[in-house]
Amino acid sequence: MARKIGEVILDLRHISLSFGGVKALTDISFDVREHEIRAIIGPNGAGKSSMLNVINGVYRPQQGEIIFQGEHRKDMDTHAAAAAGIARTFQNIALFKGMTVLDNLMTGRNLKMRCNFLQHALWWGPAQREELEHRRKVEEIIDFLEIEHIRKTPVGRLPYGLQKRVELGRALAAEPKMLLLDEPMAGMNVEEKQDMCRFILDVNDQFGTTIVLIEHDMGVVMDISDRVVVLDYGRKIADGTPDEVKNDPEVIAAYLGTQH
Amino acid sequence: MQFFLEVLIGGLLSGVMYSLVALGFVLIFKASGVFNFAQGAMVFFAALSLVGCMEKGAPLWLAFILAFGIMTLLGIATEKFVLRKMVNQPPISLFMATIGLAFFIEGLAPLLWGNAVRRLDIGLVDEPIPWILEHWNMVISKFDLVAAGLALALVAVLALFFQYTRVGRALRAVADDHQAALSIGIPLQHIWALVWAVAGFVALVAGMLWGARNGVQFALTFTALKALPVLILGGFTSVPGAIVGGLIIGGTEKLAEIYIPPVMSGIFGGNFGGIEGWFPYVMALLFLLVRPEGLFGEKHIDRV
């Protein structure tokens, strides 16, 4: 394996988030190291998606601190998170359905584009060069994800599994440091799951992208992740390597229930 | 035949004026998925601002720039005070907000500029072009021709802008999914402020042309109603659709006005006038039955 796990890139400290009286997250702390694949698991309603939403600034926690690449923040905002190199996919696919695969991926490069809007409107020298350069990068990602044949297809027409792959592509187009995947394999058949697993591992391996993922398929999680954090009812109940977590009594209780 | 052509061309040219108003709707709809009820009010406000600046002694070009400045400020203010609070709200809430905005602008305009009906002189006269009259014996208004030319140029530029530029792509992305657009770092605020400013610009051009023809008055807000059938025909999301829709509505309503009454009078007797007023809406209604997404609109595919 070429990749090696580096320093802590994201450190979440004592994060608490509530909506009105409902506590979604209570005093959660964990860290993510560079180049690792970090899984967040837990039963339904455990606060996994809320956790991702805190990391990329959709939700602002009432308490706690987020340290990304050494920078301390009280909370993220979505634009700052994207600019800092955090990309994500969504549990319910959030692609631009009317646009083609190519256009979807090109929007993913929005932040990388430097020319101003007037230059683009006029399709003027540097803007044209820039557009072509980004197009080349996007084509690389298209090749990587093996979606050449659907390049010009409007995303809304694609089957579910491919849409998930395109969404991963859009996130990759931003060349992120960290990739947040919210149930990347939900609703897929075995074959599609295997493909997606391969892509996630390849992304991690070839681009060195740090990955934080939420997944329900325990087989997958235990196979591909380096460390796993387990949430239940908005609290952290375990944190460690897949093997450690698997044998943790509290985790077993959360998943299988306890004897009374 | 000559008369037929004359009517048709006159209709097509005035249709382009409808397109211009429809274009303002399309822009906002494309960028936020919202039908902007305030577009008519914006046309009125833009025209009033233009006349107001001219009355203060500014030449047309300066008044145009000033009015554009005012419309841009209005766009930015709309984003800041109305839309920003409504990210991720369902479209119906945003639609309601634009209704409020329409009333606000309709009240603000007379407050700033007074409520008298004003004449707007932009140096174009509504008279036949002598050359065409001489050679083809047709009455084609110079005003209509220039107005149509302006509108077409504007539509062409905007269509290219949406299809091929980064900002255009970002705009379409925002319209499709706010949340996803935010997650890839598209600054929603800038995009919305920009699109409202552009819609303000389109409203200004429309207001200038309509105002120069019919006088600047409150009735300008109703031009928006004329844009509705155009939108239904062309599709709410298509810039070229707005122009084609406008041409069809403009052409057919004038032809209907001229050719239907004699036939109807022949059958039922009596007097059939004013068909122009309702014909476009009947067209739109029929069209809705056949092709609800419009000629160029995006068809929505939902998985069941």
Instruction: Report whether CATH 3.10.20.600 matches the domain A1-85+176-260.
Output: no
Q: pTM for this structure?
A: 0.73
* pLDDT tens per residue, range B198-207: 889 999 998 8
DSSP code per residue over A38-100 = EEEE-STTSSHHHHHHHHTTSS--SEEEEEETTEEES---HHHHHHHTEEE--SS----TTSB
Q: Which residue of B has its CA nearest to A160?
A: B303
Q: What is the mean pLDDT of residues B87-101?
A: 85
Whether the pLDDT of residue A119 is over 80: the answer is: no
Average pLDDT, chain A: 87
d(CA A118, CA A115): 8
- Which pLDDT value is given to residue B139? 75
**A138: enclosing H helix or E strand:** helix A125-144
Q: If we measure between CA atoms, which residue out of A182, A238, A188, A251 comes closest to residue A211?
A: A182
Query: Which of residues A165 and B17 earns the better pLDDT score?
Result: A165
| Cβ-nearest to B180 among A95, A117, A120 | A95
Whether the pLDDT of residue A116 is over 80: the answer is: no
Across the interface, whether the CB atoms of B184 and A171 are under 8 A apart is answered: yes
Q: What is the mean pLDDT of residues A246-259?
A: 82
Q: If we measure between CA atoms, which residue out of B16, B6, B60 comes closest to residue B202?
A: B16
* pLDDT tens per residue, range A128-180: 787 888 889 999 999 999 999 998 999 988 988 899 999 999 999 989 999 99
Length of chain B, please? 304
Q: What is the mean pLDDT of residues A55-79?
A: 89
The full set of domain ranges for chain B reads: 2-219
- Which pLDDT value is given to residue A122? 57
- Which pLDDT value is given to residue B34? 80
| Cβ-nearest to A98 among B161, B180, B298 | B298
CATH 3.40.50.300 domain position(s) in chain A: 1-85+176-260
- Which pLDDT value is given to residue A114? 63
Could you tell me the two tokens for A198? 């391969």
Q: What's the CA angle centered on B260, arms B254 and B261, to 5 degrees?
A: 105
**A125: enclosing H helix or E strand:** helix A125-144
Could you tell me the two tokens for B149? 């030319």
Whether the pLDDT of residue B138 is over 80: the answer is: no
* Residue A138 touches partner B, C-beta closer than 8 Å: no
CA distances from B79 to B32, B73, B104, B241 (A): 11, 10, 15, 26
Q: What is the mean pLDDT of residues B208-223?
A: 83
- Which chain A residues have a beta carbon less than 8 Å from that of B187? 79
DSSP letter, residue A226: S
Q: What is the mean pLDDT of residues A56-81?
A: 88
CA distance B31 to chain A (A): 12
Q: Highest-confidence range of A130-139, B95-104, B118-127, by mean pLDDT? A: B95-104
What burial letters (b/e) apply to A240-260, b meaning 16+ CB within 10 Å? eebeebeebeebeebeeeeee
ipTM entry: 0.70
